[in-house]
Chains A and B, each alone.
Chain A
């Protein structure tokens, strides 16, 4: 099956084509949903079987390139739709298709009765198609194609309710913001691609990877790494380009779960991990990655504490968790970063889908101040959401604990104490705002009008995916038990990915020596802190809500700063957007474009038209003249050739 891995790309494409072309005619929601989910399920099966085949191979040969067809080959540039299956790409594909499938199933219930049900599924399938190209690509061009493809799908799906209002603008504005912000990152990625081609004369992983470190000097690796990271910043919503992700919540909730939490936003992490060897050679770039990741994690968490929209909290939480992943990559813990991608995909998809279930049950209301006591109305959603929250808070043995702890430990071991402290504070804040969310939503007394609003549990087509994800969130971490407990090589996940990062780790060298005691001590500290934060959240929001309002009142300045997300959007508006618009309108459009460029273009066009009119007069329609022209041509040609011989 591994040699038919392209089927996992073809199935979603087929689903997209069927739903996209015929969906409007089919009308039957069940059929459309079955086609949409079924195509992803088939892709998942393909990936799963390939995974087991990969597992059966010897560890050092678990890397297969499957050519599908050549797209274009000219001289040095040989680009094809060929797929690269190795430990890293198979993990990513499992996440994409597995979680993708669950979310497709969930969407059948969530989008029930939507005006363009077929379009939604067509877009989702197209997204999976693009995402699979992204993770399975064996060259940068195909990866970029997938990269742009997922960006496009994200744009389409954020703007799915294009005619609704969203915050201060419309949904369409939110989708535009996402698209434009992403384009800035894409520019970085493109530059990196050019640099890679200049340095290695190729864009195929198979020929670039072995050359890393053998050609070019350190400077070029720094440059490539920085530009790749700019690409990753855009797609994975890091400082300073994270602003689009919270606004992306304008899309339907399953989209937020699939694209803006579990899969697409981790593409940047995947890209950096894929190019780990390049980053390993670029110390400054690595440090930049770590610092940006850490800062993003921290600041997004602070914003998350005060948000009142259930999806907004989760959005900032996602930004924060993505920051963790980059922190891991930046300190050289590549497999820890990917591990967190996986566990985060489980619990964040779970949380988003749970939030979707709540929103569904509460008739599209999203403000947690008007929730409360939903536990009795939607017990299944509550239980699964709680599991998700425990997982993200980092309580053992839930999955989030293992991945987060591994990152924190590596941050300490390779980055120093400061990294660890900020990381732990972020983790505590995470635990706090997640349980703020749980308490305000499900526990306590209802803060909505129970006579008018009748919350209801979602249908099983929605709750079953929740349960599956909940199980994964509980046990998913067990494949990555720290070596301090499981012994050398006991971290299954790490050993599985080890061959992919072997080059990078070789360049980086071994970790600094630290004792087991240190590791266990830090672990206990962070778990205790998280438990404390959970308790605090319960105390404040369940027992004495006054504390929260009092604190907010006391630190009004800080509270407003956080509530308004540090005014970053406003700052961008003032410093970048408005001046750019003005510049383009006043100068580029009215002066440069209208006068200079249009003038030149029109002038050239006029001259060409005049020439054309003159030439046209040669065409008299008299055959004899045509013959004479031919003869003249022949005479001149022969004369020329004779003179050259």
Chain B
């Protein structure tokens, strides 16, 4: 096993485990902390895929800025424990987990059973390029110009939506 593979497995398992803990943890703060670790593991995965820029952005923007903001808000609001909001239905929970595992099994089978590697042919030069800021920038402003502009409106409407839903007093 090469180093890259070992690192991949390590980051991947951290990502999966922390994701699970994010979901099942009852305390919002702990959930958020697990999410930070999850983001860290993801950025590691990006790095392994030679997407160094994305990796750095992941750490700076998500783990650094957004999650810190999250944690601040959560600590300031001090939300109570969420237990009482959940209807506990053990049977359903177990059933859901089984179905989820089954789905995972199917997808895994689909990916591993096929000879997917042969159908993809991306020139290696491009995969080296991918991590560079210049390459991303060029592509964003040429091929993906239109989606890039379009996504600005997604952010805009998300902002407006957040304001509409949360603003204290709307006249």
Contact = CB atoms under 8 A, between A and B. Distances in A.
B99 A628 contact: yes
Contact of B100 (A622, A631, A639, A642): A631
13 contacts: A622-B87, A624-B96, A625-B92, A627-B96, A628-B99, A631-B103, A635-B99, A635-B103, A638-B103, A638-B110, A639-B106, A642-B109, A642-B110
Contact of A638 (B89, B96, B106): B106
A627 B96 CA distance: 9
B72 interface: no
A635 B102 contact: yes
A634 B87 contact: no
Contact of B103 (A622, A624, A625, A634): A634
B112 interface: no
Specify the main secondary structure of chain B where it touches its partner: helix
A441 B95 CA distance: 97
A631 B96 contact: yes
Interface in A612-645: 622, 624-625, 627-628, 631-632, 634-635, 638-639, 642
B23 to A, nearest CB: 12
A628 B106 contact: no
A635 B101 CA distance: 10
A632 to B, nearest CB: 6
B123 to A, nearest CB: 30
Contacts of B99: 628, 631-632, 635
A186 B47 CA distance: 80
Contacts of B89: 622, 624
Nearest to A625: B92
A632 B92 CA distance: 12
Specify the main secondary structure of chain A where it touches its partner: helix
Interface in B86-100: 87, 89, 92, 95-96, 99-100
Nearest to A620: B87
The 7 closest A-B pairs by CB, nearest first: A628-B96, A631-B99, A638-B106, A635-B103, A635-B102, A632-B99, A631-B103
A635 B105 CA distance: 10
A627 B92 CA distance: 11
A635 B107 CA distance: 10
A625 B102 CA distance: 17
A638 to B, nearest CB: 5
A638 B109 CA distance: 11
Contacts of A624: 89, 92, 96
A631 B109 CA distance: 17
The interface size bin for chain B is: 10 to 19
B103 A628 contact: no
Contacts of B103: 631, 634-635, 638
A644 to B, nearest CB: 14
Nearest to B96: A628
Interface in A264-309: none
A418 to B, nearest CB: 87
B102 to A, nearest CB: 5
Interface string B58-98: 00000000000000000000000000000101001001100
B163 to A, nearest CB: 25
A634 B102 CA distance: 10
Contacts of B96: 624, 627-628, 631
A54 to B, nearest CB: 57
Nearest to B113: A642
B106 A635 contact: yes
Interface in B119-144: none
Given A622-B87, A642-B110, A628 B92 contact: yes
Contacts of B100: 631
Given A632-B99, A638-B103, A642-B106, 11 more contacts: A622-B87, A624-B89, A624-B92, A627-B96, A628-B99, A631-B96, A631-B99, A631-B100, A631-B103, A635-B102, A638-B110
Nearest to B105: A635
Contacts of A635: 99, 102-103, 106
Contacts of A625: 92
Contacts of A627: 96
A382 B102 CA distance: 98
Contacts of B110: 638, 642
Contacts of B106: 635, 638-639, 642
A610 B106 CA distance: 37
Interface string A589-629: 00000000000000000000000000000000010110110
Contacts of A631: 96, 99-100, 103
Nearest to A627: B96
Interface in A172-203: none
Contacts of B107: 638
Contacts of A642: 106, 109-110
A627 B95 CA distance: 12
Nearest to A628: B96
A625 B86 CA distance: 12
A323 B166 CA distance: 84
A638 B110 CA distance: 10
A642 B109 CA distance: 10
A278 B86 CA distance: 78
B95 A628 contact: yes
A623 to B, nearest CB: 10
A635 B106 CA distance: 8
Contacts of B109: 642
Contacts of A622: 87, 89
Nearest to A638: B106
